[in-house]
Chains A and B, each alone.
Chain A
Amino acid sequence: QKEVEQDPGPLSVPEGAIVSLNCTYSNSAFQYFMWYRQYSRKGPELLMYTYSSGNKEDGRFTAQVDKSSKYISLFIRDSQPSDSATYLCAMTSVNAGGTSYGKLTFGQGTILTVHP
């Protein structure tokens, strides 16, 4: 079983819909949780990150982390055709000094299409 599981979709929604993307993980040492967005023929770009449990909002995007359930989510409100991309969750642990071990573990990625 992979350390991080993400439903690959594909997910197709109409413009304006609320999108929910999710990942589950098994390693309780993970402390930083990230969402990357990858457009076709491009490298992934960091969209949002959270540390430990809680919510973080940035415009139309909200990231949630529930460490007790080992479950993270990304919500996209008022989705736009320009949000069409692959969304990858990623996570990493840190050492006692709070420094990252550096390696990210990625989910499989969810392909999202928002149609006009």
Chain B
Amino acid sequence: DADVTQTPRNRITKTGKRIMLECSQTKGHDRMYWYRQDPGLGLQLIYYSFDVKDINKGEISDGYSVSRQAQAKFSLSLESAIPNQTALYFCATSDSGISYGYTFGSGTRLTVV
């Protein structure tokens, strides 16, 4: 099994719909992140969580919300999806004692029509 699992892998949804992307990890890491990737823009941080009770906004949090249900689970919600949220979404984890070691999931390709 993958260390960081994202579901679903692909999703097409309609404008205005609420959608949740889920992430679970078996690394035992305390820190979890949500990024989106767009062509030419690289990875942009949406939200991050350093432990279950610590959640912080990233660069582009507008239109998104998150929930850290447990140390191993971090979900991202789009309350009312819009077409410019069409992107590749990645969940990542890291250990607080290591400054460079992100482990990424395989991504969720989201299309909002």
Q: Which residues of A contact B (CB under 8 A)?
A: 4, 6, 8, 31-32, 34, 36, 41-46, 49, 51, 88, 90, 92, 94, 99-100, 102-104, 106-109
Chain B residues 85-113 with CB under 8 Å of chain A are 90, 92, 94, 96-102, 104-107
B8 at the interface (CB under 8 A from A): no
Known: A88-B43, A92-B100, A102-B31. A41 touches B106 (CB 8 A): yes
In contact, A106 and B43 (Cβ under 8 angstroms): yes
In contact, A42 and B107 (Cβ under 8 angstroms): yes
In contact, B48 and A49 (Cβ under 8 angstroms): no
Cβ–Cβ < 8 Å partners of A92 in chain B: 99-100
Specify the chain A residue showing the minimal Cβ separation from B107.
A43
Across the A-B interface, the 9 shortest Cβ-Cβ residue pairs: A43-B104, A100-B99, A108-B42, A49-B100, A106-B43, A32-B99, A106-B42, A32-B100, A34-B100
Cβ–Cβ < 8 Å partners of A44 in chain B: 43, 90, 102, 104
In contact, B58 and A104 (Cβ under 8 angstroms): no
Distance between Cα atoms of A67 and B26 in the complex (Å)? 36
Distance between Cα atoms of A9 and B90 in the complex (Å)? 22
Cβ–Cβ < 8 Å partners of B48 in chain A: 102-103
Across the interface, A103 reaches (CB within 8 A) one of B41, B42, B45, namely: B45
Across the interface, A99 reaches (CB within 8 A) one of B97, B101, B105, namely: B97
Known: A44-B104, A46-B101, A108-B40. A100 touches B45 (CB 8 A): no
Specify the chain B residue showing the minimal Cβ separation from A108.
B42
Known: A43-B107, A102-B31, A102-B94. A107 touches B100 (CB 8 A): no
Distance between Cα atoms of A103 and B50 in the complex (Å)? 10
In contact, B100 and A99 (Cβ under 8 angstroms): no
A selection of 17 A-B contacts at a CB cut-off of 8 Å is: A32-B100, A43-B4, A43-B90, A43-B104, A43-B105, A43-B106, A44-B90, A46-B101, A90-B102, A92-B100, A100-B96, A100-B98, A103-B33, A106-B35, A106-B43, A107-B42, A108-B41
Distance between Cα atoms of A51 and B99 in the complex (Å)? 10
